């Protein structure tokens, strides 16, 4: 009797499994058959049931994933599809498609990868969508008025001077192997963004082991691993990992710090307003007093209502993320190019001396930075070759047509500024550093505006790009007027780029420095 009962139970369980499997298969076909059918005309590599193209990436180190995509592009054309499990991705380097995707508000929603930023940034400008994104963009645009940017130069100057002091210590200890310059640059940009965003300094350059700095490094590590670890890409499995626990602890530090500063600044502002010391002109532009990004948000309104502390934290944290690693990546790759092209580095130095003079203690000014034209060309050329944000992702929310191609709802669209910047047909001799290609009247004058997009393009372009360029110029000019920079390694063939949210190298770029001699 017991055996018969067990058999019945097993048969029932088997029948239930069969029913559930059948239901699952039907749902799969209903949901994905349409997507498969309408994208049949899009080229793609061979794929397998369920896993899609996942086997093309399985087992490969992170730095090879990008090259796999580029191999697909060379074989299957500028626009092709990639299935990762049940997730449909379309990659394009067709400028007509890029213009449609980035140039309108139809594709304003960010791709799945940006969901990994949600625990930290919530619904800040980078990740928000629809009406919220539109209203926030309008509120934040005045924060990057040139008068406010000009007031930030003092912070750029101060923190870059601290960087120079640290490099002086590094010079005295350096060996033939060189040192990782990005470590110091990264701390400099962290100090800079904290002070300009919140009006407080975390002193990262003098206390790199502080709780806040460790938390920032932890979040950077988490984002890196979540991009490539299959268990960490999906929230269902990620939440049970050690990495998720580390992220939770780091976020408690980051959010707690930001919230504390917001509360303090709000109380200070109320006291000033009550004392009648803040006039209308200050409220409108912030031009009469130095204001951090936070101060501007505290005085902003959406639909006639002030921003809540959570609203402000979202935008301050977003500013922190977008203005930290992105800038340090750009600065480090600038030094890499200038070190490998010493004639370009010499031209930068001569221009710096011409604009700033031989007195190395003279602080840079807003006007000085705007007069460093050749340095500006070097930055543009570096961002062509090594854009800080190598991949842009959009999510298709409704089935649509793009230049004759039907794109189903739920599709991720990938665009690579890194790939576009290395296309021979757009930039002849693309792997060679040629700052002159960005001179007025040169070949890029007639270039499609969507070919060079290190700061994205269209409605969702980078709101802080002028801020970033001014900071990069300040760091480069202050370091180059004190030191010549020499690249040590790894060799060009050994450099492996990792295209995640921020462009990185698999191994650190190593440099040596030598004090400048003025004659």
Of 379, 377, 375, 376, whose CA–CA distance to 333 is shortest? 379
> Phi/psi of residue 413, each to 5°?
-115, 130
Can you list the pairs that 180-186 forms with residues at least 24 positions away whose Cβ atoms lie under 8 Å?
Answer: 180/508, 180/509, 180/510, 180/511, 181/332, 181/335, 181/485, 181/509, 181/510, 181/511, 182/328, 182/329, 182/332, 182/508, 182/509, 183/508, 185/328, 185/331, 185/332, 185/335, 185/475, 186/324, 186/325, 186/328
Residue 218 host element (H or E): helix 211-228
What sign has the CA pseudo-torsion 64, 319, 333, 376?
Answer: positive
444's CB contacts (< 8 A; 6+ apart) are 427, 437, 438, 452
Tell me the CA distances in angstroms from 394 to 208, 253, 411, 413, 480, one per residue in order: 36, 30, 8, 5, 38
User: 462 labelled as ligand-binding?
Assistant: yes
113's CB contacts (< 8 A; 6+ apart) are 227, 391, 393, 501
> Phi/psi of residue 9, each to 5°?
-60, -45
Strand 87-92 with 179-180, pairing: unpaired
- How far is Cα 159 from Cα 480, in angstroms, rounded to an integer? 15
- How far is Cα 456 from Cα 450, in angstroms, rounded to an integer? 8
- How far is Cα 144 from Cα 340, in angstroms, rounded to an integer? 34
Please enumerate, by residue number, every residue annotated as part of a binding site: 462
Please enumerate, by residue number, every residue annotated as part of a binding site for heme: 462
């Amino acid at each position: 009797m017991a055996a018969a009962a067990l058999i019945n139970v097993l048969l029932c369980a088997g029948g239930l499994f069969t029913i559930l499997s059948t239901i699952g298969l039907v749902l799969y076909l209903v949901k994905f058959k349409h997507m498969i059918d309408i994208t049949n005309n899009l080229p793609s590599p061979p794929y397998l049931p369920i896993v899609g193209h996942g086997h093309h990436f399985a087992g490969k180190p992170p730095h090879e994933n990008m090259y796999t995509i580029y191999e697909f592009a060379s074989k299957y054309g500028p626009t092709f599809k990639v299935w990762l499990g049940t997730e449909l991705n379309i990659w394009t380097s067709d400028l007509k498609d890029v213009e449609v995707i980035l140039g309108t508000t139809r594709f304003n929603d960010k791709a799945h990868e940006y969901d990994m930023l949600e625990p930290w940034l919530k619904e800040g400008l980078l990740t928000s969508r629809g009406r919220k994104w539109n209203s926030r963009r309008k509120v934040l645009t005045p924060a990057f008025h040139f008068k406010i940017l000009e007031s930030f130069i003092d912070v750029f100057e101060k923190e870059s001077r601290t960087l120079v002091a640290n490099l002086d210590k590094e010079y005295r200890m350096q060996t033939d192997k060189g040192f990782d310059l990005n470590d110091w640059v990264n701390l400099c940009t962290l100090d800079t963004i904290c002070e300009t965003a919140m009006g407080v300094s975390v002193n990262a350059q003098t206390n790199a082991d502080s709780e806040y700095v460790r938390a920032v490094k932890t979040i950077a590590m988490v984002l890196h691993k979540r991009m490539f670890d299959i268990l960490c890409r999906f929230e269902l499995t990620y939440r049970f990992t050690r990495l998720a626990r580390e992220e939770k602890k780091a976020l408690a530090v980051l959010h707690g710090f930001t919230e504390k500063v917001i509360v303090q600044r709000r109380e200070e502002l109320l006291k000033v307003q009550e004392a009648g010391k803040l006039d209308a002109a200050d409220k409108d532009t912030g031009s009469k007093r130095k204001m951090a990004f936070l101060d501007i948000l505290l005085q902003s309104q959406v639909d006639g209502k002030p921003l809540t502390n959570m609203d402000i934290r979202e935008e301050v944290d977003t500013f922190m993320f977008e203005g930290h690693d992105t800038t340090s990546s750009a600065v480090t790759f600038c030094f890499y190019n200038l070190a490998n092209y010493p004639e370009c580095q010499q031209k930068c130095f001569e221009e710096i001396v011409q604009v700033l003079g031989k007195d190395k203690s003279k602080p840079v000014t807003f006007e000085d930075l705007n007069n460093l034209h050749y340095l500006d060309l070097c930055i543009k050329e570096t961002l062509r070759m090594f854009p800080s944000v190598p991949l842009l992702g959009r999510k298709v929310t409704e089935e649509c047509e793009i230049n004759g191609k039907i794109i189903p709802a739920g599709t991720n669209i990938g665009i690579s500024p890194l790939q576009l910047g290395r296309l021979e047909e757009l930039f002849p001799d693309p792997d060679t550093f040629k700052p002159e290609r960005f001179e007025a009247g040169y070949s890029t004058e007639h270039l499609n505006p969507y070919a060079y997009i290190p700061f994205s393009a269209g409605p969702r372009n980078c709101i802080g790009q002028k801020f970033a360029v001014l900071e990069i110029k300040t760091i480069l000019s202050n370091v180059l007027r004190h030191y010549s920079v020499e690249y040590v390694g790894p060799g060009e063939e050994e450099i492996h780029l990792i295209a995640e949210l921020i462009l990185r190298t698999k191994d650190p770029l190593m440099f040596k420095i030598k004090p400048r001699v003025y004659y």
